[in-house]
Amino acid sequence: MKKADTFEPLIQTHISEWMREMWEVEAQHPPMIGSRLKFGLPLSPAKPKRAKAKAGKRAAVKA
């Protein structure tokens, strides 16, 4: 497969007026996104049940 190109990062060298303006907006209106109910994640696999013998043993002790 073709190797991916080297990724050149971007670096901030100055802060624009627009950026400063958005900072003020962000301070009052946080940009957080997400919903608690958005994803129904698959259930965790069921845990193995306790051995029946142990339950029987406890019943026997009680008796």
32 touches another protein by CB under 8 A? yes
- Counting residues that bind another protein (by CB under 8 A) gives 35
Q: Which two tokens stand for residue 40?
A: 């129904």
Least gap, CB of 46 to another protein (angstroms): 18
Residue type, 16: S
Burial 22-54, CB ≥16 within 10 A → b, else e: eeeeeeeeeeeeeeeeeeeeeeeeeeeeeeeee
Q: Which is nearer to another protein, 15 or 61 (CB)?
A: 15
Residues forming the site for another protein (CB under 8 A): 1-2, 4-5, 7-13, 15-16, 18-19, 21-36, 38-39, 41-42
